[in-house]
Amino acid sequence: MHQKKMKIENLNLWYGDFQALYAVNLDIYENQVTALIGPSGCGKSTFLKTLNRMNDLVPTARIEGKVEFDGQNVYNPEVDVNELRKKIGMVFQHPNPFPKSIYDNIAYGPRTHGIKDTHQLDEIVERSLRQAAIWDEVKDHLDRNAQSISGGQQQRICIARALAVEPEILLMDEPTSALDPISTAKIEDLVNKLKENYTIVIVTHNMQQASRISDRTAFFLNGYLKESGETRKIFLNPEKEETENYISGRFG
Ligand SMILES: Nc1ncnc2c1ncn2[C@@H]1O[C@H](COP(=O)(O)OP(=O)(O)OP(=O)(O)O)[C@@H](O)[C@H]1O
Ligand SMILES: [Mg+2]
């Protein structure tokens, strides 16, 4: 049995007076991949960003409800947001490496957390790049600008950068939507391996991808979490007609 890692309870979110999430309840299980699916604009990215308080950066965003991580509400005033985002890392739709060397991209997080020892940084960089399945491709030119490599490689650099600070949870917002099929397959393999050590929440528009890589799936529609549960169940035998219609491609 997998432990609950996060527990989202009655979560509502507004941007100004527009309500983007309605009373969302969801459990996220440790060492599992949870896929968030649903049509464009239904609130997937908004929901994902509530998990590590990335919506704090949107001045109009307002939240009610609870997002528990290891038993603590991440919205408690005493929570250190930097520490939270170290534990809950994020990878975005478009690879966004810093305009720095590959090495410095990976070492960035650990350095901001106070690690200065070169030997220790070398080890972290190698471990992270290996975990992101890109070490062999870049080990001989770690000084190359990370923005000068292919998009698929850049995305794996971004995953390595997120892993360098040893997070517990990795949030991925459509991490393969800008990538070719080979790079996509590499990231999917990677997600499958990473879940041994991490908990993963991934947004995807690709139903095959959701069914291939996730253990659990949550279906959003118009700001509501319509249905969630084991991926096999959601895809083979959904409870709701809207879920069935969406996964079979009848809308969205
Ligand atoms: N910063 C913002 N200010 C105001 N409204 C926003 C903001 N970000 C998102 N929204 C609105 O909130 C709703 C949910 O948006 P969100 O980006 O979460 O959808 P999504 O499911 O991720 O869509 P997509 O699949 O296109 O990425 C949309 O109506 C969107 O226009
Ligand atoms: Mg989105």
- Ligand 1 test: best mutation among 44, 63, 204, 222, most atoms within 8 Å of CB? 44
Lookup: tokens for 79 = 């929570």
- Total of domains in the chain: 1
Residue of 30, 61, 162 whose CA lies nearest to 106: 162
Is residue 98 in some structural domain?
yes
In the chain, what is the straight-line distance between the N-terminal and C-terminal CA atoms, in Å?
A: 34
Q: How confident is the model at residue 246 (pLDDT cuts 50, 70, 90)?
A: very high
Lookup: tokens for 47 = 């929901």
Is residue 2 in some structural domain?
no
**Whole-number percent of the chain with pLDDT over 90:** 93
Give the span between the Cα atoms of 116 and 119, in whole angstroms: 9
Is residue 148 in some structural domain?
yes
Angle at 196 between CA 68 and CA 66, to 5 degrees: 10
Mean pLDDT of 217-223: 98
Largest CA distance in the chain: 57
Could you report the per-residue pLDDT of 35-48, keeping only the tens digit for each?
999 999 999 999 99
Is residue 154 in some structural domain?
yes
Nearest CA to ligand 1 atom 12: 20
Q: Which residues pair with 34 in a beta bridge?
A: 201, 216
Judged by DSSP in three states, 220 sits in strand
Res 178: pLDDT: 85
Nearest CA to ligand 1 atom 1: 58
Could you report the per-residue pLDDT of 6-31, keeping only the tens digit for each?
999 999 999 999 999 999 999 999 99
Res 252: pLDDT: 59
**Does the beta carbon of 44 sit less than 6 angstroms from any atom of ligand 1?**
yes
Is residue 69 in some structural domain?
no
Which residue in the block uniquely carries the two structure tokens 């890109």?
Answer: 134
Could you report the per-residue pLDDT of 46-77, keeping only the tens digit for each?
999 999 999 999 999 999 999 999 989 999 99
Using a CB cutoff of 5 Å, list residues around ligand 2, an ion: 45
pLDDT, averaged across the chain: 95
* Distance (Å) from CA 143 to ligand 2 centroid: 33
Q: Which residues pair with 69 in a beta bridge?
A: 6, 72
Judged by DSSP in three states, 87 sits in helix
Full-model pTM: 0.95
Residue 7 host element (H or E): strand 4-15
Give the span between the Cα atoms of 160 and 146, in whole angstroms: 12
Res 210: pLDDT: 96
Res 249: pLDDT: 85
Look up the CATH number of the domain holding residue 138: 3.40.50.300
Is residue 4 in some structural domain?
no
**Whole-number percent of the chain with pLDDT over 70:** 99
Give the span between the Cα atoms of 211 and 193, in whole angstroms: 16
Domain of residue 182 covers 31-57+79-247
Is residue 203 in some structural domain?
yes
Lookup: tokens for 188 = 């999917």
* Distance (Å) from CA 173 to ligand 2 centroid: 7
Res 88: pLDDT: 97
Give the span between the Cα atoms of 133 and 189, in whole angstroms: 9
Cβ count within 10 A of residue 124: 22
Is residue 218 in some structural domain?
yes
Nearest CA to ligand 1 atom 3: 15
